[in-house]
Amino acid sequence: MTHSSSERGLDPFARQRGLSGFGAAGQRALAGASVAVVGMGGLGCPAAQYLAAAGVGRLTLIDADHVSVTNLHRQILFGPDAVGRPKVHAAVRALRLIAPGVDVRPVAARLDAGNAHDLLAGHDAIVDGTDTFTARHVIADAAEDLGIPLAWGAVQGWHGQVTVFTREARMRDLFPEEPGLDLDTCDGGAVLGTLCGQVGAAMATEALKAVSGVGTTLAGTLAVVDARNGRWREIPLAPAATEPREPAAASAVGSARAVRVGSAREATAGA
């Protein structure tokens, strides 16, 4: 397929560059930015796709898993021909077709406490698309130590959540310890594929705002989506200085898990 003469030389970011408050400076910031996407699952795939299409200069994709048939309804960078291949290599192939100018680097390794700082250092933002609480705590702790904003999301069934963790709005403030819960794995949980796209795209938006400096991120706020009833709501995560801090509890977490937070439990019930 070839481009018509009228399409040659057009700026692929023209519509984005034209956004109020974004402009050429915002696009330059994206081009000079580096974002790490940890976990190329239902959240990491759409997030990486939109980050690449937006013109982020460098993407690092971190995941040790291989593509399975049951991934395909929600992990949109993969088709049937990718089944059995390492996710990061299949994702790199897809992203280079979408955005050939982006430097996409695969890391076929499982991020853990021993390698997190080395793998995440030097990035301007991190997107957490992992599916266990252990991995999420490791990523959040490393992001806090390194001073890197962390775009975080979770989905389960018809419900999803998105926020941004920073040194001022920390994951450990909400979840000091891993909950002692016996839960199914991500692959065993039911989830709406398109909801993964919604939440993953929202995570990408938060990462784009963080690296461009345009707009206000969700740091300190949990955005909750009920896809079944078509509703979004926002829950403050940081209490006012004059109010006592209420404990937070998690019912589940991961790319197919949901979160219930302190006094906001009723608002997110059923997530």
Query: For the chain, what percent of residues have pLDDT higher than 70?
Result: 80
Q: Are 201 and 76 in contact (CB under 8 A)?
A: no
Q: Work out the average pLDDT over 182-189.
A: 45
Residue 173's pLDDT is 84
CATH code for the domain of 142? 3.40.50.720
Whether 16 is covered by a domain: the verdict is no
Q: Work out the average pLDDT over 80-94.
A: 98
Residue 4's pLDDT is 52
Residue 242's pLDDT is 37
Residue 271's pLDDT is 27
Q: Is the pLDDT of residue 261 over 70?
A: no
Please state the domain count of the chain. 1
**CA-wise closest residue to 125 among 203, 201, 21:** 203
Contacts of 84 (CB under 8 A, 6+ apart): 66, 67
d(CA 46, CA 43): 6
Q: Is the pLDDT of residue 247 over 70?
A: no
Cβ-in-10-Å burial (0-12, 13-18, 19+) of 231 comes to: exposed
Q: Is the pLDDT of residue 185 over 70?
A: no
Whether 4 is covered by a domain: the verdict is no
- Read off the pTM: 0.84
Mean per-residue pLDDT over the chain, rounded: 84
Q: Work out the average pLDDT over 190-204.
A: 96
Q: Is the pLDDT of residue 51 over 60?
A: yes
Residue 219's pLDDT is 96
Task: Give the domain extent around 64.
Answer: 22-268
Residue 46's pLDDT is 98
Whether 157 is covered by a domain: the verdict is yes
Q: Is the pLDDT of residue 227 over 70?
A: yes
Query: For the chain, what percent of residues have pLDDT higher than 90?
Result: 73
pLDDT single digits (tens) 110-159: 999 999 999 999 999 999 999 888 999 999 999 999 999 999 999 989 99
- Least confidently predicted of 116-120, 161-165, 251-255: 251-255
Q: Is the pLDDT of residue 23 over 60?
A: yes
Q: Work out the average pLDDT over 182-187.
A: 39
Q: What angle do CA 49, 55, 59 make, to 5 degrees?
A: 60
Q: Is the pLDDT of residue 47 over 90?
A: yes
Handedness of CA 181, 185, 188, 194 (dihedral sign): positive
Whether 217 is covered by a domain: the verdict is yes
By annotation, the residues acting in catalysis are: 186
Residue 246's pLDDT is 39
Q: Is the pLDDT of residue 65 over 60?
A: yes
Q: Work out the average pLDDT over 17-24.
A: 93
